[in-house]
A and B are shown apart, each in its own frame.
Chain A
Amino acid sequence: MPEVIVQNLPFLLQGLWTTIDLSLWSTLGGTALGILLATIRFVRVPVLGTLCMLFIEFIRGTPLLVVLLITYFALPALFGYKTTAYSAALLGFVLFIGAYLAEDFRAGLRSVRPSLIQAGLATGLNRWQVLRFIIAPQAVRSVIPPVFNQYIRLIKFTSVASIIGVTDLTGAALLVNARQFYPITILTTIALTYFVLCYVLSLIGRALYAHYAVKM
């Protein structure tokens, strides 16, 4: 391993941990938000459904960097609270990935054939039970590939947090580079690290899909 990496290994590992930590919490938060938004839109709650749609379209039309700038600079200015780079990034990622996941979940919910829903209602289940026992189990399987794609995107996107000053893997690497200036070595190393992270996650996604896929 090159000397500059060995010297700064603890610092870089700390950055890597921040990246993983940020990805993990954003994944959890984003998934929860996505399920909530998708369900509200799927069961067509009046007014709230439209608001969710507007929120989703707004986020999906805005670059992640701008979302982070909004959560870091604009929202605190508007509502008058103090925030840290880490919590602003976390909030931004949850909102951002939640909006994308919501559309994937909704597509999954809609992929369940209407006749199954009708059959469920006909056997006397109420709407909530149909959602819980008939639609959700089938939808979960069909959304595994798109959802894992979003998770992988999220890991890559966490690098953007370095721009608002989070010392994640990219942020740590840039600091090390600013101090010692070995751009080729340092950037190659973190590119490789991201590659391994994302690739492993995509393998997990493929394995899960193969395991849970609906066999026709």
Chain B
Amino acid sequence: MLTNYRFNWAPIWDARDLIASGLAMTIAVSLVSLAISIVIGLVVGSAGASGSRPARALAAVFVDIMRNIPLLIHMYVWYMALAFLRLPAFTCAVLGLSLYSGAYVAEVVRAGIGAVRRGQMQAALAAGLTRFKAMRLVVYPQALRMIAPSLASLFSQLIKDSSLASVIAVSELTYEAGAIDGQTFRTFEVYITISILYLILVTAASQLVMLVPGARNEASSARFADA
């Protein structure tokens, strides 16, 4: 039952510059964190799938610690506990987000490498490739195709998680929404607007990942799971 709430979208339109700059900041935080978390995920994930027992154990410890601590605490640790480092808020947000998401990416990468059939690696080595080249040219490309759907959902997760950067005063979309709400009291309109903006970002991001050549769609990856 809608009571006498009067919709008024004009203040939202008037604040479009703030929303645009918030959106740009959200994209910046997400992209930088995305890049770092891919690097972390690749290194830790490869260690987790490697033949060396200590490397596997280290990777498992890293993943378990990073994943089982809430992202908000990650951010506060960089921003408050390690305040003596005097890192800018943006850097704190990126570090927290990358370490947290990197652990998730690592698990996906590890599963992807594990899913590439053993014979592929053996054949590559037998063909005279070095271990590094075999990984780069044979194993990773196949793994990437299989994990593209999981990566797509992780990356959209990362974009949404970047909203927590607002609590350590990074002026991204959610932060600006709070500011606009404070100025205009158009609470419902402003939060619906940014929800839709997040929805667009997330959809775009997951569609982009699925452009990976040969990426398997949901149906065929389900078939893969059956095999």
Chain A positions within 8 Å of B, measured between CB atoms, are 57-58, 60-66, 69-70, 73-75, 77-80, 111, 152, 155-160, 162-163, 170, 174, 177, 183-184, 187-188, 190-191, 194-195, 198-199, 202
Separation in Å of the A75 CB from the closest CB of chain B?
8
Residue from B77, B161, B187 in contact with A191 in the complex, judged by beta carbons closer than 8 Å: B77
Q: Could you tell me which residues of chain B, from 197 to 215, have a CB within 8 Å of some CB in chain A?
A: 198-199, 202-203
Interface flags for B160-184 (1: CB within 8 Å of A; 0: not) read 1111101100000010011001000
On whether the beta carbons of A80 and B188 are closer than 8 Å, the reply is no
**CB-CB nearest in chain A for B80:** A183
Decide yes or no whether B90 CB sits under 8 A from chain A.
Answer: no
On whether the beta carbons of B69 and A194 are closer than 8 Å, the reply is yes
Separation in Å of the A143 CB from the closest CB of chain B?
14
On whether the beta carbons of A66 and B174 are closer than 8 Å, the reply is yes
22 contacts between A and B (CB under 8 A): A61-B195, A61-B202, A63-B163, A63-B174, A65-B167, A66-B195, A69-B178, A73-B191, A74-B192, A75-B188, A77-B187, A78-B3, A79-B1, A156-B69, A159-B72, A187-B81, A188-B81, A194-B68, A194-B70, A195-B68, A199-B64, A199-B68
Chain B positions within 8 Å of A, measured between CB atoms, are 1-5, 64-65, 67-73, 76-77, 80-83, 156, 160-164, 166-167, 174, 177-178, 181, 187-188, 191-192, 194-195, 198-199, 202-203, 222
Separation in Å of the A206 CB from the closest CB of chain B?
12
Chief secondary structure at chain A's binding surface: helix
Question: Considering the chains assembled together, what is the distance between the CA atoms of A117 and B29 in angstroms?
Answer: 47
Question: Considering the chains assembled together, what is the distance between the CA atoms of A187 and B79 in angstroms?
Answer: 11
On whether the beta carbons of A78 and B83 are closer than 8 Å, the reply is no
Q: Which residues of A contact B198 (CB under 8 A)?
A: 61-63, 66
Separation in Å of the B56 CB from the closest CB of chain A?
18
Question: Considering the chains assembled together, what is the distance between the CA atoms of A58 and B80 in angstroms?
Answer: 33
Question: Considering the chains assembled together, what is the distance between the CA atoms of A63 and B72 in angstroms?
Answer: 13
**CB-CB nearest in chain B for A158:** B70
Q: Which residues of A contact B195 (CB under 8 A)?
A: 58, 61-62, 66, 70
**CB-CB nearest in chain B for A184:** B81
